[in-house]
Amino acid sequence: MVTPLGVGQTLAGTASFQLLGNGVKLKLDVAGCPAGDHAVHLHANSTCANSGGHWANGENIPVITCNDQTMTGSLMFTAPESDGWEVKTNTDNDVAKYVIVIHAINGGAPIACGEINSL
């Protein structure tokens, strides 16, 4: 679950990660999202209360664009093998060790965060 950060923020949604051949697929769906392009990154810590800086391997995610009428957005991205993302390996490259953070328009402050859990 991706949940709002801070007073007045409304962006919420879901993020899922799936191993696909030589990469890991991220599917992100959000609602209550301010219109425009929002940066998305994986941050270095495992809790939203203390997300830390960007995880170096989690900086290549494209922006998510939110519609100004429906206030929704979707993103599908497959991280290439060279990014080193892993799923359910409990290694330093396992995405479950990090959080996904969505930033305000133009790379501003974080407005939503989701703790990544292995299922």
Domains of the chain in sequence order? 3-115 (2.60.40.200)
Here the tokens at position 51 are 């997300």
Task: Give CA–CA dist 46/98, Å, rounded.
Answer: 4
pLDDT at 72: 97
Cα 92 to Cα 64, 79, 100, 112, distances in angstroms: 26, 16, 16, 23
Burial code (b: 16+ CB inside 10 Å, e: under 16) for 10-19 equals ebbbebebee
> Which stretches of the chain score pLDDT less than 70?
119
SS3 of 112, please?
Answer: strand
Q: Helix or strand or coil: residue 69?
A: coil
- Which tokens in the block code for residue 16? 């899922």
> Can you read off the two tokens belonging to residue 3?
């949940």
What per-residue confidence (pLDDT) applies to 119? 66
Q: What are phi and psi of 81, to 5 degrees?
A: -55, -35
DSSP state of 54: B
